[in-house]
Amino acid sequence: MKNTSIKLRNLVIYQIYVRNFSEKGNFKAVIDDLDRIKALGVDIIYLLPIHPIGEKNRKGKLGSPYSIKDYNIVSDELGGLNGFTELIKAVHDKKMKIMMDIVFNHTSRDSRLLKEHPEWFHRNESGEIANRVGDWWDIVDLDYTKDKNLWFELLNTLVYYARMGVDGYRCDVASMVPLEFWHLARIQVKRVNPKFIWISESVHGGHCKYMRDQGYTCASEGEMYQEFDIAYDYDIDPYLENYLKGHTTLRPYLEGLKRQDEIYPLNYVKLHNLENHDIDRIMKKVDNNLLKVKNWLAFMFMQKGAAMLYMGTEYASSIKPNLFDKEMYDRNHDLSEFITKLAKLKKRKIFANGIYTVNLPEIDGVAYQVFSNKDEEIQGIFNVGLQEGYLDVNLKDGKYRNYLTNKMVKVENGKIKLGTDPIIVKFKK
């Protein structure tokens, strides 16, 4: 958005799937853990959908939270409306914000809206109510072209939760919902909370092209910034996945990061994350190599945009809780202190207003990034591939203190010897 504050680039967001966050699986368990989460440096608690889950065509035993029966009801299994309002208050008391997941592309196959207004839903060539993505067989898609009363219904829902005290929305597959709807939504919610934050789960470029090829509307990543403050990092995620699978070098991912600064609005804010409810754990992708995980985490925090953690990242979890059943994340190592240090650094103004430089090292598997302004400079070297050798750096010869380890790093002849520790050095100009 034109008026989006670049200060959002300093945010640290913590994603919670309430049902699988604890054994109790309710809001009360989240409340009880807020002090620990706050200590990580978290600014926003973001909850996966908290509404009753559909039963028809349910996936798994418990079903997906993205198959919603009624947007206006908070699930009793999680603590109901009273439990949710208590959580909102508790989060605000800790000086954090709370964000909801909004799923307005589709509903469950037994939703209230489908029963009351079947005319609001997408139909296939046979005239049957259906969804547009084949493997999403537990849901049916809304059709925004049929009746503006659907728009009014959903706008009222957004205003309802904003009045309750919710501070932001993460909008599921937002690219497949008309931009005109999101424009009206912003206007309506702004009257309740002028500082409301909007995050778009803008879909992968390949998915967007596929939907367009099928004749459906799908907004591009650049278009989403017309109405949203923050957009997902899915434009470059395929490059990251290909590197982690060993299919390519790290360079395409670094080039993608660099390109973001060239093609998006001046005040763009990206949501950088290594894992979420849809993406497998970074620990699993690097064969449980903790040294690689620490380098990836530091690299992620030192990218231009907000940083998001998925519950369990701070414990180097290798389990991504099942979306359709009860499953907890595991605790392999405690990275809380490490993440707290990264989050503290992330709050510096330079990460909002500094000049961002993504270098393209000759050594594959190494990321080298720089933030600079008129007062200071911060450089980061992240050996995500645990390579050996000497890296060319834009630093004067001498010794520099690594912010993350407090150890001294030596620069000689314009080069630095690669080790296993992520390196961040900061200095005044």
The DSSP output letter for 335 is: -
pLDDT, average across residues 271-297: 97
Rounded to the nearest integer, the mean pLDDT of the chain is 96
**What number of other Cβ atoms are within 10 A of residue 244's Cβ?**
20
Residue 342 and residue 47 in contact, taking contact as beta carbons nearer than 8 Å? no
- Copy the structure tokens of residue 71: 């947007």
Distance of alpha carbon 89 from alpha carbon 299, whole angstroms: 33
Beta strands in 270-404 (DSSP E): 270-272, 306-310, 355-358, 367-372, 376-382, 390-392, 398-401
Q: How would residue 374 be classed by pLDDT, with cut points 50, 70 and 90?
A: very high
Name the nearest CA neighbour of 189 among 218, 220, 154, 222.
154
pLDDT, average across residues 398-408: 97
Percent helix, percent strand, percent coil in the chain, to nearest 5: 35, 20, 45
Distance of alpha carbon 158 from alpha carbon 196, whole angstroms: 11
Amino acid at 329: Y
Residue 217, pLDDT score:
86
pLDDT at residue 279 greater than cutoff 80: yes
Name the nearest CA neighbour of 86 among 166, 40, 27.
27
Handedness of CA 283, 287, 289, 293 (dihedral sign): negative
pLDDT at residue 296 greater than cutoff 90: yes
- pLDDT per residue over 74-116, tens digit each? 999 999 999 999 999 999 999 999 999 999 999 999 999 999 9
pLDDT at residue 135 greater than cutoff 80: no
Distance of alpha carbon 175 from alpha carbon 317, whole angstroms: 30
- pLDDT per residue over 17-56, tens digit each? 999 999 999 999 999 999 999 999 999 999 999 999 999 9
Give residues with Cβ within 8 angstroms of 265, minimum separation 6.
2, 225
HSE (side-chain half, CA atoms, 13 Å) at 348: 21
Name all domains of the chain by residue range, CATH numbers in brackets.
6-353 (3.20.20.80), 367-428 (2.60.40.1180)
Residue 308, pLDDT score:
98
- pLDDT per residue over 182-229, tens digit each? 999 999 999 999 999 999 998 788 888 888 998 888 999 889 999 999
> Residue written as tokens 């497949």?
176
